[in-house]
Amino acid sequence: MALTDQAFMQYSRQILLPEVGEHGQSRLSQSHVLIVGVGGLGNLAAQYLAAAGVGRISLIDGDRIERSNLPRQLLFTSDDLGGNKADVAAQKLMRAYRDCHIHCYQHYLTADSAATVFNNRYHAIDLVLDCSDNFAARQLVNQLAIEHKVTLVSASAAHFQGQLLSVNQQISPDTGCYHCLYPSDMSVSQTCQTVGVLGPMVGSLASMQALMSLNLLLTHDATAELPPIAVQSRCMDSRQLLGQLYRFDGAKFTWRQATLARDPDCTVCRVHER
Amino acid sequence: MISIVLNDEVVTVSIGTSLVKVLEHQAIELDAVALALNAEVVPKSRWPHIVCQQDDKLDVFSVVAGG
Ligand SMILES: [Zn+2]
C-alpha cells in the first residue's frame, strides 16, 4: 500500500531508518494492536504507537480516572476525573492522530468478554500489549494471547522495578509463556496501589514496551519480503526480542536480561501446544 | 565448598547444593520468586534438579505486576 505525501512527510524520520522504510511504515499503518489496561503503561504506549502511524489500536479498560492517576497517566487531566480510561484516551488520541483508528471497550477484559475483543473478523490483532495493573489480569492476557496465537508484549512497573517481556508460542515455543515464568499460584505483593511508583518509572517501561512492539510489528514474518542483504544487516530480529525478560531497576539504573524457558509442566502453554 | 553469586553477592554453598536448597538456606520464600541462572530463567519445577556450579550467577526476583 503506497503512502500519501502527507504520511511520507509526517513519518519521514521513521522512514529514513533502513529497518523501517516505506515498506515498514506501510506495514505499521496496516497493523492492529490491542492494549489491555489504559493506566500509566497503556496511556503512553498507546500514544507512541498511534503517533508512529500504527493503523488500528483497540483499548480496553473498565476503570475510571482518579486524581491519583494524573502524575503518570499523562493523557488525562483533572477535567477527565470520573471518565472511563479507555473512552477518554481513545477520544484524545483520535483527535491528535487522525491516521489511527481507535476503538475502545469500556469494560475489563474477562474470559467472557474476550471472544468479542479477540475475534475481530475484519481486523485481526497483530499484537497484544499487557498494560494491566494486577497479576490475575496478566495471567488472563497471557492465556488469551496463546489461545488466539498472538504475540504478547508484557510490561509492568511498581516501586523502582520494571519488567518487560514478549512471547509467541508459534515463533518461539522453547521460551514458553508468562505463566512458565510466573505460575498463577505464586504469591505477589507489589502493585502500584500498595507500594507507590514514580511517573517516569512507568513511562520508561511503557516506552520500552512501545519500542519493542514497533520492532516486532516491523519484523514479524518480514524475512521473506526483504532482500537477503537487508536481512543480514538488520539489527532487529523478532526472534532476538521474543523470549527475553528485561528487568529495569530505576533506583540503581541497571537493566538485566535473561532468556525465558518453557516449563514442560506449564498448564497454560502446554494445553495449546502446536 | 564453592562460591556462587546470588543477586550480586558472593555466597558460599556446599558442593552438590541444588537451586532450591540455595533459596531455602537464604530464607527466600519459594512461592514468591522467579530465578535466572547465568542469564537463563529456570522454571520452578526444575529447581530441585539443578546443582550449583562454582561461579554460577543466580538472580532471584519477584513478579512486578503494576502498571
Ligand atoms: Zn507456559
Q: Which residue of chain A is at minimal alpha-carbon distance from B29?
A: A187
Q: How far is B11 from chain A (nearest CA, A)?
A: 20
Query: For residue A222, is pLDDT > 60?
Result: no
Residues of A in contact with B67 (CB under 8 A): 37, 39-42, 130-133, 155-157, 192, 202, 205
The predicted pLDDT at position A193 comes to 64
Q: What is the pTM of this model?
A: 0.94
Cell (9 digits) for A225: 519480503
The predicted pLDDT at position A36 comes to 98
> Would you call B64 and A163 a contact, using CB atoms and an 8 Å cutoff?
yes
The predicted pLDDT at position A223 comes to 41
Of A254, A110, A156, nearest in space to B34 by CA: A156
User: Which phi and psi (to 5°) does residue A129 adopt?
Assistant: -105, 120
The predicted pLDDT at position A238 comes to 73
What is the distance between the alpha carbons of residues A191 and A213, in angstroms, rounded to a whole number? 24
Give the containing element (helix H, strand E) for B24: helix B19-25
Write out the catalytic residue numbers of A: 192
User: Which phi and psi (to 5°) does residue A264 adopt?
Assistant: -55, -25
The predicted pLDDT at position A273 comes to 62
Q: How confident is the model at residue A191 (pLDDT cuts 50, 70, 90)?
A: low
The predicted pLDDT at position A188 comes to 87
Query: For residue A119, is pLDDT > 50?
Result: yes
Query: For residue A224, is pLDDT > 80?
Result: no
Percent of chain A with pLDDT over 70: 91
Q: How far is B12 from chain A (nearest CA, A)?
A: 23
Is 0.90 exceeded by the ipTM? Answer: yes
Taking domain A15-259, whether its CATH number is 3.30.300.30 is answered by no
Decide which of 3.40.50.10090, 3.40.50.700, 3.40.50.11270, 3.10.20.30 is the CATH code for B2-62.
3.10.20.30
Query: For residue A229, is pLDDT > 70?
Result: no
Query: For residue B15, is pLDDT > 80?
Result: yes
Domain ranges of chain B: 2-62
Domain ranges of chain A: 15-259
Q: How confident is the model at residue A231 (pLDDT cuts 50, 70, 90)?
A: very low
